[in-house]
Amino acid sequence: MSIRSFFMAKYYDSSIKKMEEQCLGDWRRELLSPISGDILEIGSGTGVNLFHYPKSIGSLTLTEPEPHMRKLLQNNVNNQPEGKIRVEAFSAEALKFPDQSFDAVVSTLVLCSVNSPEKTLEEIKRVLKPQGKLFVLEHVLATEKTPLIKWQKLLQPFWKCMCGNCHLTRNTEKSILEAGFSFDSIDRVYSSGGPAVISTMIKGVALL
């Protein structure tokens, strides 16, 4: 438990508040409104998505390996009326669930931060049932040949160090396709209210 991760957890919600209000909140709701069945969310952080799941879901399993974040997450879960939510400490590269446990996996702003997107996507495939779905909202490498790409590359070492291993230059759409998923829907969206280097995002649903 480092002092940096303590502060990251403490100030996470306030650091993304403006983005949540201007766009992220709507995108989370749009993404998650059709979700159903037994759901696994990786890297849940403080539990921002909790408020966007439909009441009709079967069960919700939230995983968060970072202890300070997990404490805030557990507090938010305890304030929920439903008894069908559980919290686990597993990292996304080692999801200690049996094969084919879930109908859907949710990853929002997490594939940028995991140590290995490849291992994470392998694990997601393993725990998804046949015809399972992966719901993603992730900031990614800018595609256009704009100065933004240069800034993402330049700032990456500092950003990664200060923001909990968050990478600015991941091509997450490509990683998902290379892992063997195909996209049922994907939108490239541009966030406002936050730093430009994390403004290029993908929002979509990938199928096994």
Ligand X SMILES: C[S@@+](CC[C@H](N)C(=O)[O-])C[C@H]1O[C@@H](n2cnc3c(N)ncnc32)[C@H](O)[C@@H]1O
**Site of interaction with ligand X (CB under 6 A):** 42-45, 48-49, 64-66, 69, 91-93, 108-110, 113-115, 164-165
Min CB(190)–ligand X separation in Å: 17
Min CB(103)–ligand X separation in Å: 19
Cβ nearer to ligand X, comparing 69 with 105 = 69
Min CB(93)–ligand X separation in Å: 6
Backbone angles phi, psi at 62, to 5 degrees: -110, 130
Q: What is the 3-state secondary structure (H, E, C) of the chain?
A: CCHHHHHHHHHHHHHCHHHHHHHHHHHHHHHHCCCCCEEEECCCCCCHHHHHCCCCCCEEEEECCCHHHHHHHHHHHHCCCCCCEEEECCCCCCCCCCCCCEEEEEEECCCCCCCCHHHHHHHHHHHEEEEEEEEEEEECCCCCCCHHHHHHHHHHHHHHHHCCCCCCCCCHHHHHHHCCCEEEEEEEEECCCCCHHHCEEEEEEEEC
Cβ nearer to ligand X, comparing 147 with 188 = 188
Min CB(69)–ligand X separation in Å: 4
Report residue 23 as tokens: 């766009």
Cβ nearer to ligand X, comparing 54 with 147 = 54
Min CB(56)–ligand X separation in Å: 21
Cβ nearer to ligand X, comparing 44 with 61 = 44
Min CB(204)–ligand X separation in Å: 15
Cβ nearer to ligand X, comparing 109 with 141 = 109
Cβ nearer to ligand X, comparing 40 with 142 = 40
User: What is the rounded distance in angstroms from the CA atom of residue 117 to the CA atom of residue 138?
Assistant: 12
Q: Which residue is nearest to ligand X (CB)?
A: 45
